[in-house]
Amino acid sequence: MKLYDGGRAPNPRRTRIFLAEKGITLPLEQVDLGALQQKSPAYAAINPLQRVPALVLDDGTVITESIAICRYFEALHPEPALFGRNAMEIARIEMWNRRLELHFFLLVSHVFRNSHPAMKEMEVPQVPAWAEANKPRILEFITLLDAELKGRGFIAGDAFSVADITGLVAVDFMKPAKLVVPDELGNLKRWHAAVSARPSASA
Ligand SMILES: N[C@@H](CCC(=O)N[C@@H](CS)C(=O)NCC(=O)O)C(=O)O
């Protein structure tokens, strides 16, 4: 089994944090995104979408999509449960993970990919106006998230979950996208400091 990884890129980082929370170590192979190695024929044969991460099992089966890879390991190693333990927890975690992906992480990705000079060969064409259009939507979502985090330890409830991993990676991805969390969003900043202090955050 081998995990095709992408250094500082946010989606592979979600998978690495998840594995670290589970205490799972895997052989990693770095795909150099800066050198566009994801577009090489060898990697495109593994993932035709030319994105990382990708997990290749010993029988050659390929699993892509960071959350699909996380679900695979959750099924194999249920503890600690990061997708929930009962119907309500599973639904709440799924709800928050999807909200974070669709209304926050993806939007930060649009800002980064459409405004950063380093992305001009990966995001063709870059549309700077699309980057600008997403900025107020991100602020709107993180303001909502800040209100939700009032009196709550973690995004989807009382326990750390995959939703916190998506949230942590999305907030950290704001930095290269040249976005900042406003100081008045104190609940979000408190939560971010707490999840950043977990050993897995440096994975
Ligand atoms: N939905 C996929 C997204 C994967 C993705 O976009 N990965 C980025 C790195 S964070 C990538 O490989 N980008 C390469 C490119 O755009 O050419 C997932 O969750 O894994």
The minimum-distance atom of ligand 1 relative to the CA of 66 is: 20
> Is the separation of the CB atoms in 86 and 39 below 8 Å?
no
Reported as a pLDDT band with limits 50, 70 and 90, residue 143 is very high
- Nearest residue (CA) to ligand 1, atom 1: 65
**% of the chain beyond a pLDDT of 70:** 100
Residue position matching structure tokens 């892509």:
64
Q: Tell me, what's the pLDDT at 135?
A: 98
Residue position matching structure tokens 């897995």:
200
Q: Tell me, what's the pLDDT at 86?
A: 97
Task: Give the distance (Å) from ligand 1 centre to CA of residue 12.
Answer: 8
Say if residue 137 is exposed, middle or buried (CB neighbours under 10 Å; 0-12, 13-18, 19+). Answer: middle
Tell me the mean pLDDT in the region 4-15: 96
Q: Which of 150, 156, 161, 155 is nearest to 186 (CA)?
A: 150
Tell me the mean pLDDT in the region 33-48: 97
Ligand 1 pocket test, pick from 18, 47, 52, 70 with the greatest ligand atom count within 8 Å of Cβ, gives 52
- Nearest residue (CA) to ligand 1, atom 16: 122
Q: Which of 82, 85, 73 is nearest to 24 (CA)?
A: 73
Reported as a pLDDT band with limits 50, 70 and 90, residue 150 is very high
Instruction: Encode pLDDT of 75-117 as tens digits.
Output: 999 999 999 999 999 999 999 999 999 999 999 999 999 999 9
Q: Tell me, what's the pLDDT at 176?
A: 97
Binding-site residues, ligand 1, Cβ < 6 A: 6, 9-11, 33, 38, 50-53, 65-67, 122
Q: Tell me, what's the pLDDT at 93?
A: 98
Task: Give the distance (Å) from ligand 1 centre to CA of residue 183.
Answer: 30
Reported as a pLDDT band with limits 50, 70 and 90, residue 39 is very high
Q: Tell me, what's the pLDDT at 94?
A: 98
> Is the separation of the CB atoms in 160 and 195 below 8 Å?
yes
Task: Give the distance (Å) from ligand 1 centre to CA of residue 54.
Answer: 10
Ligand 1 pocket test, pick from 11, 105, 111, 172 with the greatest ligand atom count within 8 Å of Cβ, gives 11
pTM of the shown model: 0.97
Instruction: Encode pLDDT of 159-170 as tens digits.
Output: 999 999 999 999
